[in-house]
């Protein structure tokens, strides 16, 4: 599982010219799954994500968590996080989890975040989405389960 985390002042997701998810200050997440990912790993990753201190305090130090700033989450499924361009010039997606299982884990991930008390907006799994965001900093962090657990 990979999560690209962007600190944002605002973010929204549009599908078919309609806004389907929108947040103010918080995290815009791009979430991808690979073979072997499961609910237990999703729980570990959501806990890790929510424990991170990625926002500046009054002294400009990254000491504040999403909870500390009363932040919101826009979660976007993105199988392309597992694209490989090792061979050739066109990406291969063989490392991305199949859509049925990935959708189930994506929904479970978002539910874990909601159950932890956060406002979570989403895109639409598998849809062509247009993401509009203002990256605050810019500040982008990547969580990769293969490196963490």
The reported pLDDT for the residue numbered 84 is 95
Assess contact for 37 and 77: CB atoms under 8 A. no
The reported pLDDT for the residue numbered 25 is 98
In this predicted model, what pLDDT tens digit does every residue of 16-48 receive, in sequence order?
A: 999 999 999 999 999 999 999 999 999 999 999
Phi, psi (deg, nearest 5) at residue 41: -65, -40
Residues 6+ apart with CB under 8 A from 97: 33, 34, 35, 37, 79, 82, 105
Instruction: Say how far apart CA 127 and CA 140 lie, in whole Å.
Output: 24
The reported pLDDT for the residue numbered 97 is 98
Assess contact for 49 and 109: CB atoms under 8 A. no
Q: Would you say how long the chain is, in residues?
A: 149
Domains along the sequence of the chain with CATH: 2-144 (3.50.80.10)
Q: Look at residues 35, 50, 55, 64 and name the one whose alpha carbon lies nearest to residue 117.
A: 50
The reported pLDDT for the residue numbered 141 is 98
Q: What average pLDDT score do residues 65-87 get?
A: 97
Chain mean pLDDT for the chain:
97
* Catalytic machinery residues: 78-80
């Amino acid at each position: 599982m990979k999560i690209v985390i962007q600190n944002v002042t605002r973010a929204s997701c549009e599908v078919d010219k309609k806004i389907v998810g929108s947040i103010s200050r918080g995290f815009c997440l791009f979430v991808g799954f690979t073979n072997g990912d499961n609910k237990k790993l999703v729980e570990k990753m959501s806990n890790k994500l929510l424990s991170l201190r990625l926002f500046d305090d009054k002294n400009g130090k990254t000491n504040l968590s999403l909870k500390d700033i009363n932040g919101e989450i826009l979660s976007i499924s993105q199988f392309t996080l597992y694209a490989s361009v090792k061979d050739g010039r066109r990406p291969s997606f063989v490392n991305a989890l199949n859509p049925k299982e990935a959708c189930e884990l994506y929904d479970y991930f978002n539910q874990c975040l909601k159950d932890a008390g956060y406002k979570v907006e989403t895109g639409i799994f598998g849809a062509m989405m247009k993401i509009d965001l203002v990256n605050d900093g810019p500040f982008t962090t990547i969580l990769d389960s293969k490196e963490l657990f």
